[in-house]
Chains A and B, each alone.
Chain A
C-alpha cells in the first residue's frame, strides 16, 4: 500500500520503511514550539523530568505573542518565566518583543520550517506550516516538555482526505475564502484525526500567503494537519527565508485517501462564517444585512503582506464608516516594516484605522479590541466560538481581508465588488 505525503514524512522521521493508518510511532522532531500561555506549564513539566538541558538549542522556538506587549501583571510573570527559561537553556529561537511576531506568521518567515520537517507546537494552529510541505501539528504542554527534553514525540499515523484544486480564484477571492468554503462543506469535525492534503494544478494560482492561511485553519475542520504539495512557489519561498536542508515528499500513486474532493477555485465566492462555528458559512451573496461594530484584520491567519496590501487597496483615499472601530494588526515586525516602506500603513491609518503592533491580542479576546455585550465584529481570524473576542453575547463573523476592509467602509458586511 502506498503512502500519503504525511505518512511518508512520519515514516522517515520514525526510521521506518513504511507506516500505516492507526500505527503508533515515535518520530524525531525538527522543531518544538511554544508561546507565552503554554510554555510556562511545559517549563514546570520539563523541570520534573530531571533533564537539565534541552535536546537541541537550535530546534526549539519560544514566542511570547498572546498577551504581549505584556497586557497585565499575570502576563508579565508568564513572559518572565519563559524568557528566563530560554536564556538559562540557551534556546536560540526566543523572540522578544521588538523582533517578534505572531508565532505562526513568524516561524516560516524566520526560515525555521522547511519541506519534510516534523514540527510540534503547544498551540493548535501549529498546523500552519503544512503550507511548506512539512508535517506540523498542535499538541499539549506535556508533549512540549517531553519534546524539548528528548527531541521526540509519539504520533498515531493519520488517514487522509485529498483536496484536488483546479482553476484560479476570481476577483477578490483569496485562500481564506477557499478554506472557509471547505470547512463549510466538510464541517468542523469533517477531518477529525486526519490529514488534509492539498494538491492539483490549481495550487499554482495560490500564493504562499494563501496557502499558509489555508493550512492554518485545517484544525478548524478537526484535522491533525494540513499539508500542501511542494512546488516552485514553495521552493522559492524556502530559498528566500531559510538555509536549512529540506526534503520534498510526494504521495505515492496508490496512496489511500478516505475521500477525494475536487474543487474548482474559480467557482468559489467570497465566503463568511457566521457565529458561532467556522463551518457555519455563507457566500457573500447570501449574507444579507449584518451591521457591525468592529473590524479586525490580522492574526496568524491573515496578517501577512498580501492581506495588508488588499486592505490598503480597499481603504486608500476613503474613510471607515462612522461608529465602526477598525483594528489592523500585522503578523510580524518584518511585515510591519515592509508595510511601512510600501506606504500601506499611511493609507490604512488615514482611513481612520488603528494600526497595532504584532500581537494575538484581539484574536482570542486577550486585549487590544475586546467586544462588549451584544457587539458584532467581522474578523479575518480563525475562530468565532462563543465569547472568542470578548463578552459571551458578542458575535464574530469570519472573512477574508477584502470582505473585512469593504465592511469597514460601510458598517455592514459588504462584498468588496460593491466598493472598488
Chain B
C-alpha cells in the first residue's frame, strides 16, 4: 500500500483543538468536520487540500484532548497519511483505529518542506521525497496494522475478519 501527494507542513505540538476546534464537535459527520480541519492555524488548508495529499509535522502531533474527531477530520479532508517526528499517544491510537495511516520519522519531519511531492510505502516504511530526490526510513507497519488501515479502521477490520 502506498500514498502519494503534496505536503502540508506544520510545527511542534499541533493539538487536537487546532485540528478540529471544540466549537465544531456538535457533529461526528466526517465530511462536516473536514470543512473546519486545521482552520485555526491554516485557513488555506481546506481550500487547497487534494485527495491523497500528505501532512508532515514535528513533535507531539495530536496532543491534548482524546477526541476521535481529530483524525476523522484529517482523513475526511483527503489526507492520505500523516508523518511526524512523534505523535501524542492517544491520537496515535485513534488515527490507526479509524484508518488514518500515520508514520513516525524524525528525518522526514525535518527535511520535508511544504509543497514537496512525497510518496510513502506502508509495507516498507520508506518515504520518498520526489521533489528533493531523497528517501527516509520510517517504521513500517506490521501486517496486522496494515490490515486495519486497509480495512478502513479497527471496527471494519474486525467485521471483515469475522465473515
Give the B-binding residues of A (Cβ under 8 A).
22, 24-26, 45, 48-51, 124, 138-143, 145-146, 149-150, 154, 156, 189, 192-193, 222, 224
Contact = CB atoms under 8 A, between A and B. Distances in A.
Interface in B53-103: 60, 66, 68, 86, 88-90, 92-94, 96-98
A290 to B, nearest CB: 28
Given A49-B158, A154-B145, A142 B97 contact: yes
Contacts of A50: 158-159, 162-163
A49 B89 contact: no
Interface in B145-163: 145, 148, 153-155, 158-159, 162-163
A146 B97 contact: yes
A149 B158 contact: yes
B45 interface: no
Closest 4 CB pairs of A and B: A142-B97, A50-B159, A49-B158, A146-B154
A149 B68 CA distance: 19
Dominant secondary structure of chain A at its interface with chain B: mixed
Contacts of A156: 92
Nearest to B157: A146
Given A50-B163, A138-B90, 17 more contacts: A24-B142, A45-B155, A48-B155, A48-B159, A49-B162, A124-B90, A140-B68, A140-B93, A141-B68, A142-B94, A142-B98, A142-B153, A143-B93, A146-B154, A149-B158, A156-B92, A192-B86
Dominant secondary structure of chain B at its interface with chain A: helix
Contacts of A149: 158
Given A22-B139, A24-B145, A26-B144, A140 B155 contact: no
Interface of B: 60, 66, 68, 86, 88-90, 92-94, 96-98, 139, 141-142, 144-145, 148, 153-155, 158-159, 162-163
A140 B90 contact: yes
Contacts of A48: 155, 159
Contacts of B145: 24, 154
A154 B89 CA distance: 13
A49 B66 CA distance: 22
A48 B156 CA distance: 8
B66 A24 contact: no
A138 to B, nearest CB: 7
A284 to B, nearest CB: 31
Q: Which of A48, A142, A143, A224 lies at the interface centre, i.e. has the most chain B CB atoms within 10 A of its CB?
A: A142
A202 B90 CA distance: 32
Contacts of A140: 66, 68, 90, 93-94, 97
A251 to B, nearest CB: 22
Contacts of B142: 24-25
Contacts of A22: 139
Contacts of A124: 66, 90
Q: Which of A22, A140, A146 lies at the interface centre, i.e. has the most chain B CB atoms within 10 A of its CB?
A: A140
